[in-house]
Structure 1
Amino acid sequence: MLLPFDFQQDPYLILDFSATNPDLTTLDLTNTATFSAYVFGKMQAAGAKVGVGGYNEHRVIYRRSEHFTNTHKGGSEEPREIHLGIDFWAEVGTPVFAPLDGIVHSFQDNAHFGDYGPTIILEHATTNQPLYSLYGHLTRSSLDGLFVDKAFKAGEKLAEIGPYPENGDWPPHLHFQLMTDMLGLRGDFPGVCSLTDRARFLAICPNPNDLLGIEDL
C-alpha cells in the first residue's frame, strides 16, 4: 500500500496534463492556487478521492517553471517535458506508506519553484537489480528524524503529502518514481526528462504501476 486508498474500490480520476487537454491553454499554471483549484475541482466534479497519472506523459505543465529548462543556467539544451513517475493528487497531510521493505538511501529539501520540495529516496533489496523509490512533494516534517539506512517495512508510514509552497509550489500531490540506477545522485533524481533522453531514462525508471497494479493506468 502506497496511499490510504483502495484503487479497486475508491473512485479515482486519471488527470491529463499533456497538450491534448484544452483546459491547459487558458489556465495560469504559474499561479499555484489557480492550478490547485483546477486539479481539485476536477476531482470533486468526478467524485474522486485522488487524481492519478502521468507516467511517460509528454506534459505541458512544466513550462510554468524555469526549473525544467536550461535557459536559466545559460544552457541551450531542450526543455524537460516527459514525466518519469506517477503523480497522486490528494489532500495535504495524506499519509504515504512504504510500498516495499527498504532503507533510506538519501533525502533532502529540493526547495526551488517547481522542484520536488521535501524528498525521500528508499533503497530496496532485490535479487535481480538495484531498485530505488522516490517520494517527492512531501511535508518538511516528513524529513524529521530521518537518517541514511533507516529501515522501513512495507506498509509503514513514511511521510505525508505537503502543502504549497513548501512542496515545491505544486498543487498537493505525491510524485512516486522507481529507479534502477541512481546515476550517483543523492536526495534528488530527475522526475522529468527531455524528448531526446526519453528512452535512456525510461530504461532505468520502470513504470511504477507494474508494482501498484492500478487499473486503467
Structure 2
Amino acid sequence: MTSTLFSQFIQSLSQSFLPVVDSNFINEEYTFIDLSIGNKKLEVMDVSSSKAFEAYISEYLVLNNAKVAYGGYNETRGIYNRSKHFNQQDPETERNIHLGLDVWCDAGSAVLAPLAGTVHSFQNNKNFGDYGPTIIMKHIIQDVSFYTLYGHLSVKSIENIKIGERFEIGDVIAKLGDASVNGDYAPHLHFQIIKDLQGNIGDYPGVSNKRDLEYYLENCPDPNLLLKI
C-alpha cells in the first residue's frame, strides 16, 4: 500500500472526533498549540526545565479557555537541543522534527485506545528526553496491519500489561506519567501511527532529522487523520 493510500485508509477509520485521552474531555475543550522554532515565546523560556514548560502549557490552556492542548506533527522544534539523545552537530542529522501528535494534559490522565488492537510490545525508554514508559499496539483492520505508539506514560502503565493483550475502542490502556518518569517533559501523550515498525520492540523514532524526513512522514502519517481533533 502506498503512503497516500495508507493515509487515506487511516482517515477512513473514523468519521468524527476520536479521543485518545480521558473521554471526559470533549472536542471543544481542545486547543492547538505551536511548539515550533517559530514560536517566539519559547525563545525567552527555559525549555530545558520541565517545570517551566509545564507552567507554560498550563497558562496557555487558561488563556485559551481549554483543558487539552494538541499539535506537533511534522513540527521542527528547538526543545530537543537540551538532550544528547537528539542533538547532533550536523544540521542534516540533528533530530528535531516531530513525527507524532502530542496531547498535553495532566499527569494521571487516562490514555484510551482509539482503535481495537493488541499489545505488540512495551518498554521504558529511559534516555533523557526520550519517551519514558511506552506501549506499542498492533492493529489489523480490513486486512491492513499497522501500529500505534503511546509514549510518556506512567511506570505503572507497563507493570502489568501483557504482550498480546487486547483492547477495544475506548478502553483505558495507560495513564500519563509526570516529568520524573516521562523523559523530563511536561505531562503529555505522544501518539504516533506507524505503517512499518522496522523490527522495533517497545520503541520507534518519534523525531526525525532532515535527511530521513521523507521516509518517516510516509511511514508515519498525521495522527489527526484518525483522531480528527
TM-score between both structures, scaled by the size of structure 1: 0.92
**Paired positions, count:** 209
Shift of 1:6: 1.8
Identity %: 44
Alpha-carbon distance in structure 1 between the residues aligned to 2:167 and 2:123: 17
> Equivalent residue for 1:125?
140
Deviation by residue 1:111-163 (Cα, 9 ceiling, x = unmatched): 12100000000000123532100000011011121111111111111001111
Contact 1:129 1:180 in 2 (8 A): no
Secondary structure at the aligned position of 1:171 is classed as: coil
Select 2:158's aligned residue among 138, 143, 152: 143
Alpha-carbon distance in structure 1 between the residues aligned to 2:91 and 2:33: 31
Aligned alpha-carbon RMSD (Å): 1.5
| Unpaired runs of at least 5, structure 2 | 1-18
Aligned pairs for 1:150-189 (under 5 A) are 150-189=165-204
Alpha-carbon distance in structure 2 between the residues aligned to 1:165 and 1:65: 15
Alpha-carbon distance in structure 1 between the residues aligned to 2:91 and 2:42: 26
> Equivalent residue for 1:6?
26
Secondary structure at the aligned position of 1:202 is classed as: helix
Structure 1 runs of 4+ aligned residues shifted over 4 Å read: none
Secondary structure at the aligned position of 1:36 is classed as: helix
> Equivalent residue for 1:42?
60
Range moving further from structure 2, 101-110 or 27-36: 27-36
> Equivalent residue for 2:50?
32
> Equivalent residue for 2:72?
54
Select 2:81's aligned residue among 63, 82, 100: 63
Deviation by residue 1:70-118 (Cα, 9 ceiling, x = unmatched): 46xxx99621111111000001111011111100000011112100000
Aligned pairs for 1:67-86 (under 5 A) are 67-70=85-88, 78-86=93-101
> Equivalent residue for 1:115?
130
> Equivalent residue for 2:226?
211
Alpha-carbon distance in structure 2 between the residues aligned to 1:210 and 1:163: 27
Alpha-carbon distance in structure 2 between the residues aligned to 1:182 and 1:78: 21
TM-score between both structures, scaled by the size of structure 2: 0.87
Alpha-carbon distance in structure 1 between the residues aligned to 2:157 and 2:114: 16
Alpha-carbon distance in structure 1 between the residues aligned to 2:33 and 2:167: 30
Shift of 1:13: 2.0
Amino acid at match of 1:64: R
Alpha-carbon distance in structure 2 between the residues aligned to 1:110 and 1:44: 31
Secondary structure at the aligned position of 1:199 is classed as: helix
Range moving further from structure 2, 202-211 or 11-20: 11-20
Of structures 1 and 2, the one with the larger relative CO (CA 8 A, separation 6+) is 2
Alpha-carbon distance in structure 1 between the residues aligned to 2:60 and 2:157: 28
Contact 2:68 2:105 in 1 (8 A): yes
Alpha-carbon distance in structure 2 between the residues aligned to 1:129 and 1:57: 28
